[in-house]
Amino acid sequence: MSKSVYEEIMSLREALTTYNYEYYVLDAPTISDFEFDQKLKRLEALESQNPEYFDPDSPTQRVGGAVTKNFETVVHSHRMYSLDNSYSREDLLEWEARMQRILGDVKLEYVCELKYDGASISLTYHDGKLFKAVTRGDGFQGDDVTANVRTIRSVPLVLKGNYPNTFDIRGEIVLPILGFNKMNEALIEIGEAPYANPRNTASGSLKLQDSAEVAKRPLDCLLYFIIGADLPFNTQFEALQAARNWGFKVPREAKLVQDMQAVFDYIDYWDVHRHDLPYETDGVVVKVNSFSHQQELGYTAKSPRWAMAYKFKSEQAESVLESISYQVGRTGAITPVANLQPVLLAGTTVKRASLHNADQMSKLDVRLGDTVFVEKGGEIIPKITGVNMSKRTSGSTPLVFIDNCPECDSELVRNEGEAQHFCPNYLGCPPQIIGRIQHFISRKAMDIEGLGGETVALLYENGLVENYADLYDLQVSQLLPLERMAQKSSENLINGLQQSVNVPFERVLYALGIRYVGETVAKKLARHYKNIDVLAQQTEENLIEVDEIGIRIAQSVVSFFQKQENRILIERLKNAGLQFEILSDETHFVSDRLAGKTIVISGVFTMYSREELKNLIEAHSGRVGSSISAKTHYLVAGENMGPSKLEKAKKLNIPILTEGAFAEMIKN
């Protein structure tokens, strides 16, 4: 190994770590995303070619890949206490008086910090490197989620500057509101129920078994308290500044103040401006600044005496429930919506609030004419949180979920294990038909220029289309009589349809609107099976062998292709010229060495990332399996793979390859 290659690896790691810090911690990038990606790819290539220089703390290792079946319980080296809550200025003044009775007549300084609504985490660092990440648990012990936390890019794997040899730093794993909304948009696209709120989603993300899945989520980590022996500072505010210098993301909103009036001013300011932040906050944490004062004040059985959380009042309003309407989605899912007397809430007028499903309606026991409490769930989506029973009128009766579709009057069904009711009239329910066509033409699907959602509804209402295949039979002369359709706009629409035949197979597959098949799943299936005819012939058992395809997706895909009407639509779309196979120049095949072979990947690897291994298998015509079965031909095993998977492979006599042996298999 030449010294220059090693030096380039080290130089790239140092530079990328700096760029990563500037982007994710300082929010002040100094290079473009393209330049960063090019440097990262160069480092990945060098590390792959020179595995002896593998470093788990390299910037290339942020993508995850470790699989954790059972999260080990770890005892905290320092207990994680909860905070006492206050809800008024009087509470804070009483707290200050209690402390001064213990400390005597001393001048107290305070550090005010925003209380971020996330999942509490304790990070342990040894010799400047992340050693362990543990959830709060019961305060005495929590779950080791180190593999998942390592994928969060604002968590430094290696520190900079002068830091103690060993210490813990506490904070919150949060999901920014923008990222949360994007995740929900993706779920809604595939007909799934959205996540309830960012906090629960962040907390649930830490317990996902596959760290590669965690890496896909836009999690962030905000730090606010250091604990350890012989710390090189004397106050909380100095500690925050030091942590920031070491590379931690410490919120800049923290402020050192000299008296309780300044605390009140801080609270008043952020009670209004918290809605401008990218994260959810539910209050302010006030801490005594001096560590010596903190030590003297000590702890109660549950909480530190030197800190207090002031909780903001939820943005809540009262309104009257006037009626319930039911919306029908493109998958047939029925969503009840509360129609309210208009009320001002968090700066916007709210007239409607989702009730989600029949179970939620029953749980709230909400009735027509009730005065209800409305909040903005996650500060974004209006929701009903309860009923003001003191204002309920006599004679009100519980709401009963509808039995028939509000659009086509078909009798609703509710599948076992699902919270939502569905309209089964797949072919005759107008909102489902219009919704499927609108999904088909959407930007991430066929992206047909000149055709929007309103125009789709107009075409359907005028009897010109009843499904998305009908779009390709349209003519300019049919469009001209329609409202808002002039010669030019009609020609643009037809031209957009003609150009859409060049859209690649994976997007066409997504456009078909198969339930649970979003962008990512469509891409997986398209690249795995290569064309629609092969995919249509697969059984549920075959489909779940594909990486990341679960039983629910498999059942939905099989059900879709079993419907004769869907097969007819696909034939019509084929005749229109749409792409239903991956073209040869899209496949990037290297060889057919693994043709007909199903290969499962498990564990942590050093030569390749998991994604690189998957790409190599597919490039050599193989299939990537997600679980061991009698149809598995090889298991590529890395470190820390699950013992049950290894045992099953041995029991079925499946050849087990190291990544080195796999590399030899596909060599030349």
Q: What positions carry a catalytic annotation?
A: 115
Q: How far apart are CA 445 and CA 457, in angstroms?
A: 18
The amino acid sitting at 172 is: E
**CA atoms of 581 and 587, how far apart (whole Å):** 10
Task: Please choose, from the candidates 54, 164, 26, 176, the residue with its C-alpha nearest in 3D space to the C-alpha of residue 116.
Answer: 176
Which of 531, 535, 539, 485 minimizes the C-alpha distance to 504?
Answer: 531
Of 113, 103, 226, nearest in space to 164 by CA: 226
CB 494 within 8 A of CB 449: no
CA torsion, ordered 309, 315, 320, 326, to nearest 10 deg: -110
Phi, psi of 235 (to 5 degrees): -140, 160
Query: With the CA atoms of 208, 211, 216 and 222 taken in that order, what torsion angle do they form, in degrees rounded to the nearest 10?
Result: 80
Question: Scanning the structure block, which residue is given the tokens 């995850």?
Answer: 64
Q: Let me know: does 626 contact 544? Beta carbons within 8 Å.
A: yes
Rg (CA), the chain: 29
Residues 493, 489: Cα–Cα separation, whole Å: 6
Under DSSP, the state recorded for 255 is E
Comparing C-alpha atoms, which of 170, 304, 302 is closest to residue 239? 170
* Residue 514 contacts residue 535 (beta carbons within 8 Å): no
CB 372 within 8 A of CB 388: yes
Nearest-CA neighbor of 474 among 482, 571, 565, 436?
A: 482
If you write DSSP's letter for every residue of 33-80 in order, what string do you get?
Answer: HHHHHHHHHHHHHHHHH-GGG--TTSGGGGG---B-SSPPEEE-SS--
In the structure encoding, which two tokens stand for residue 251, read together? Answer: 């919120």
Calpha distance 331→128 (Å, rounded): 51
CB 583 within 8 A of CB 609: no
